[in-house]
A and B are shown apart, each in its own frame.
Chain A
Amino acid sequence: MDGLENLRGAWLERIGSASDEAALEDIRVSALGKKGEISLKMRELGKMTPEERQAAGPALNALKDEVNAAITAKKAGLADAALDERLKAEWLDVTLPARHRRQGTIHPVSQVTEEVTAIFADMGFSVAEGPQIETDFYNFDALNIPGHHPARAEMDTFYTHRREGDNRPPHVLRTHTSPVQIRHMEQHGAPCRIIAPGRVYRADYDQTHTPMFHQVEGLALDRDISMANLKWVLEEFYSAFFGVQVKTRFRASHFPFVEPGAEVDIQCSFEGGTVKVGEGDDWLEILGSGMVHPKVLEAGKIDPNEYQGFAFGMGIDRIAMLKYGIPDLRDFFASDLRWLRHYGFASLQMPSVHAGV
């Protein structure tokens, strides 16, 4: 049995010092192969007496298993070492920049339009649309602004060219989203709740005016809607939009298409040179509104004795500037990549009431 112990020591040592898989395989063959040393010893068992076999058999089997296991373990060790070696060689400077992937953005006007839509949709308002080139009827007359009305001159209206011989009054680029009110009333009647966001145009250009900007119109008609409802709707809207409780202040004013009319201020502070909505004691003028004028209802083929309601119009670019701290309106339409990337929104940043706007 001492022989076996020597044998074991010798093989384990050879296995231990095998330098690669090939050497290990040679060892396996010479130890456990058909003519391997241990295999030959096993064959000798047959010549032994049962008693001898009783003792030598298990010992030899154990030796065989042990050598086998040592080879397997050594093999795994060698493979690991080889892998380690390879991985070491595969070292990369991972501080190198990644492959470029373009980052697209959503324009603030689109984002804010979707925010406004999400909030008003929750209050049951759907989205109405109308043409940007309008007749003077829809843009003015139907809104109780007849041809001689001073408000027409004050609107800085863009007119479209008329060909020689075409004596119709020129069309206009809509100066507000209000004509959508009339078109919607004509097509769908009352009751209704709509907002109408979109491009509007006025011939004016300076730091706070661009010849094109965006408005959202609101219209709610029913049998008993009052200005107090309007105030509630607007306060709900602004609170959701700015993410803080916002108070409004109504001030009497005049727009030909409403009666009574009001300008609406939102609560804010001007401390430190920045506007903070929803705090402080100051007020910021934010929109024009009122109860739809009976003549406007009539123009929309709705009986003013049966239905009443409110309308409002506010600047989308304006509330975008306020909410996101964008200083200059003109940059909205300049398409400067630096601006688009800085003020733009990720494609998956989709406004919703449940996720927040």
Chain B
Amino acid sequence: MKFTLSWLKDHLDTEASLDDILDTLTDLGLEVEEVEDRAARLKDFTLAKVKSAEQHPDADRLRVCQVETDEGVQQIICGAPNAREGITVVLAKPGTYVPGIDTTIGVGKIRGIESYGMMASERELELSEEHDGIIELPSGEVGDRFVDWLAEHDSAKVDPVIEIAITPNRQDALGVRGIARDLAARGIGTLKPHEPQVIDGTFKSPINVTIDADTLDTAPHFTGRLIRGVKNGPSPAWLQDRLRAIGLRPISALVDITNFFTFDQNRPLHVFDADKVAGNLRVHRAAGGEEILALDEKTYTLGAGHMAISDDTGVESIAGVMGGAASGCTEETVNVFLESAWWDPIQIAYTGRDLKIHSDARYRFERGVDPDYTLPGLHAATQMVLDLCGGEPSEVVEAGAPLQTARSYPLDPARVGSLVGMEIARDEQVRILTALGFSASGSGDALEVWVPSWRRDVQGEADLVEEVARVASLTKLEPKPMPRLRDGVAAPVLTPMQLRERSARRTAAALGYNECVTYSFIDRAAAQLFGGGSDDVMLENPISSEMSHMRPALLPGLLQAAARNQARGMMDMALFEVGAAFHGGEPGEQHLLVSGLLVGHTGPRDPHGARRAVDVFDAKADAEAVLAAIGAPAKAQILRGAREWWHPGRHGMICLGPKKVLGIFGEVHPKVLTALDVKGPAMAFTIFPEEVPMPRNSSASRGAVTMPDLQAVERDFAFVVDAEVSALDLVNAAAGADKALIEEVRVFDEFIGGSLGEGQKSLAITVRLQPRDKTLTEDEIEAVAGKIVEKVGKATGGSLRG
């Protein structure tokens, strides 16, 4: 919402400075977004007088002027036809910035003759479109500042333009008068009276208006009248200046008047050229399919239920949204039909949204227009038409009746204190509400407050409290301690899953991974690589095709990040992310994941030969470390058969049973890497924190530690097994040989080739025996060893390597 300071002062009698007004507006909830102080841009221009003007020897259209300035007589070359001896002009000295031509004036030669400045036109100073000649002032002394002259003689030209943000609840502030009312309530001046005179008609309007019965609920009230014999044309300068100041293009007096009331009173109007209206006007619901060429020169097709105003030939206006071009007013209009009607905000919002029309009328009607000002607004506008265009008004045509909005709410004056925490005296509360147009009756703690017709947003006591607090100023609110929930030490607040998320994140970072936060939406192709990309998780209105589907996993985002980093020459990286992935499009169809990605080498080349390509066992170690950090059981199965984006032979699922997958590690499938432009190979892991069982007992106690005094015995075995045999199966078999005695079984070598047959490998394990109550004899050790060989043989078909 834009307005000028002088426009505001039409409604507000105030001596307050511009800065005070701006600060107060923001504090009242009418946040100032921008102030265009046009005087500031013109501050360097001064008045000067042309002493002589002679023909330029080398240019027909140029004159060489001797100009008297506050710095002596200067020579200035000028092309304006009116540059002549004796006139008072506006001078831009060398070094002055001229906004209209976006240039800083310098000393220059024009066709060989030096020029020391410029005499400006109105357009060059952005005062108007006038550019036929330079400005000639009727008064003023050499050396005076031009802004001072303007302030005295033509203040509208340097009127500061104020733009404020209007929150959706403040329909009243969509008119300058409402803004003035707010300021007055705060004590910044007094609201000037505004009581439109009823203008009686002298004849019956030849155009009548009806509202269809099925439309009355959203179009309850229509007023209008014909004014005949008007003379349309450019509106007066003051009106043009105002409209231009707020960014509107003056069109003609009749149209400018409607725009004026839109911004002055939040009272959108429409003017029909009565001679282009066939028969009477009828307010009705569109059947759907009706076409209308609107004032913005676009053709719209109405949907069923949209409200239209039609004459005998068809739709002439999209009610409350935009008028039609066919019956619009032009410079030639002599008979005008003026409309002031009230339209239902919700219906206007839907119509505007359906038709994608963003007009000032829609903007206001959907936020709310004062229903009680429909007829007064018609009279006020009539007066202005008569003033500016002349003519003769008909009697008022009225259909329906103003919407009844009168309502009241009880307000306990103590409520401001209990809800906001500000102590404001009852009388002051009543004063504020009254100044805003409310009326309060009742006594003590039982006020009954009636809401003015222009505040449809006020729907209860809390709204009344807000009005009081807002005008009293929330800046004065003093902080008040909020008591602790309980005395003493604050209780922990994180849930087990929140703790898990944090542990997983901190562990991954400790393992050397850099945490990424990638977008939750990715492109369809990338999503499809990871089992997603269905229509269920598709956005209806993505901002780009790269962000069209909710991610089914974190890896695609991390892989794309890896590709971007590789493109910048960073080839070795460890990235991870903790966040939600989406397995469906319904709320809650998301699950928490932790994914890590390793690409390239373990580090840069170094003199120690420590650098090597990352491999699956790096990912496995990190996956296990993260799982351990979030409390997963140490013993888990490693199964194969994960989804197709993993290398089929180089991955493992860390499971508690075939259906309980806690995590997956492995090499990413080369096809996936190619599709995502990642130079591979790439190792990855994904952890499913929600799948890890919660500990059964929540006690902090750890149980007793056992630390036998007897020394443990280690024995090594090498088994020859089929190459397909899993080391873990062999280890588990060996460990099962004597669960009491065997403390640990560890693989320390894998060997393929040599004298081993095709399809065979050798796995070497070390078994640690921990005697509990007496030292083991050699026989006892041999017995266990024999059992280990037997168990391993049974489980894997392997035999001791000879």
Contacts and interface: CB of A to CB of B under 8 A. Distances in A.
A253 B418 CA distance: 19
A235 B479 contact: yes
Nearest to A164: B535
B475 A150 contact: no
Contacts of A199: 520, 579-580
Nearest to A113: B502
A226 B477 CA distance: 11
Interface stretch (B94-102, B582-590, B734-742, B771-779): B582-590
B52 interface: no
Given A161-B535, A231-B479, A252-B27, A171 B421 contact: no
B515 A340 contact: yes
Interface in A305-357: 308, 332-338, 340-341, 344, 346-348, 350
Contacts of A211: 519, 521, 543, 547
A43 interface: no
A62 interface: no
Given A249-B475, A254-B168, A260-B465, A162 B565 contact: no
Interface string B572-583: 011110111010
Given A251-B475, A263-B31, A347-B509, A291 B462 contact: yes
A213 to B, nearest CB: 10
A135 interface: yes
B29 A160 contact: no
A254 B29 contact: yes
Given A259-B462, A350-B506, A160 B170 contact: no
Nearest to A170: B540
Interface string A208-227: 00011000000010001111
B306 to A, nearest CB: 14
B603 interface: yes
A340 B418 CA distance: 47
Contacts of B586: 133, 171
A259 B463 contact: yes
B513 A104 contact: yes
Interface stretch (B199-207, B321-329, B488-496): B488-496
Interface in B564-616: 564-565, 568, 570, 573-576, 578-580, 582, 585-590, 602-604, 606-608, 610-611
Nearest to B578: A110
B516 A100 contact: no
Contacts of A348: 506, 510
B752 interface: no
Contacts of B502: 114
B516 A335 contact: yes
B515 A106 contact: yes
Nearest to B592: A129
Interface stretch (A26-34, A63-71, A117-125, A267-275): A117-125
A266 interface: no
B177 interface: no
B676 interface: no
A1 interface: no
Contacts, number: 279
A335 B518 contact: yes
Interface stretch (A17-25, A79-87, A151-159): A151-159
Interface string B500-541: 001001111111111111111100000000000001111111
Nearest to A228: B421
A229 B478 CA distance: 9
Contacts of B334: none
A344 B514 contact: yes
Contact of A227 (B420, B498, B508, B521): B420
Contacts of B494: 117, 121, 126-127
B506 to A, nearest CB: 5
Nearest to B460: A294
Contact of A203 (B517, B541, B580): B541
B466 A259 contact: yes
Contact of B515 (A104, A129, A231): A104
Given A104-B513, A114-B502, A253-B31, A131 B588 contact: yes
Nearest to B28: A252
Interface string A94-112: 0011011111111101100
A160 B540 contact: yes
A150 B460 contact: no
Contacts of A334: 561, 564
Given A150-B168, A333-B519, A100 B574 contact: no
A11 interface: no
A250 interface: yes
B511 A254 contact: no
A223 to B, nearest CB: 10
A339 B59 CA distance: 61
Contacts of B510: 104, 347-348
B635 interface: no
B481 A232 contact: yes
A217 to B, nearest CB: 15
Interface string B160-175: 0000000111100000
A340 B517 CA distance: 10
B78 to A, nearest CB: 42
B512 A102 contact: yes
Interface in B541-560: 541-543, 547, 550, 557-558
A115 interface: no
B659 interface: no
Interface in A17-60: none
B514 A124 contact: no
A212 B535 contact: no
Nearest to B498: A127
B694 to A, nearest CB: 17
A245 to B, nearest CB: 12
Contact of B29 (A106, A201, A212, A253): A253
B422 A228 contact: yes
A332 B350 CA distance: 37
A261 B466 contact: yes
Contacts of A122: 490
Pick the most buried of A114, A154, A337: most chain B CB atoms within 10 A of its CB. A337
A173 interface: yes
Contact of A337 (B495, B520, B542, B570): B570
B240 to A, nearest CB: 30
B479 A228 contact: yes
B301 interface: no
Contacts of B521: 211-212
B484 interface: yes
A100 B573 contact: no
A102 B466 contact: no
B320 to A, nearest CB: 13
Contacts of B346: 148
A182 to B, nearest CB: 12
A133 B479 contact: no
B345 interface: yes
Interface string B334-377: 00000000000110011001000000000000110000000000
A154 B542 CA distance: 16
Contacts of A344: 509, 514-515
21 contacts: A100-B606, A102-B513, A104-B510, A105-B515, A114-B502, A121-B490, A124-B491, A131-B587, A150-B367, A226-B417, A227-B422, A227-B474, A228-B421, A229-B421, A250-B474, A252-B28, A252-B469, A252-B474, A255-B167, A262-B474, A337-B514
Given A333-B517, A336-B568, 13 more contacts: A100-B602, A101-B603, A106-B506, A121-B490, A161-B539, A173-B539, A250-B475, A254-B170, A260-B470, A335-B517, A335-B557, A344-B509, A348-B510
Interface of A: 96-97, 99-107, 109-110, 114, 117, 121-127, 129, 131-135, 138, 148-151, 153-154, 158-163, 170-171, 173, 193, 199, 201, 203-205, 211-212, 220, 224-229, 231-233, 235, 248-256, 259-263, 291, 293-294, 308, 332-338, 340-341, 344, 346-348, 350
| Nearest 5 A/B pairs, CB to CB | A228-B421, A102-B512, A100-B603, A252-B29, A260-B466
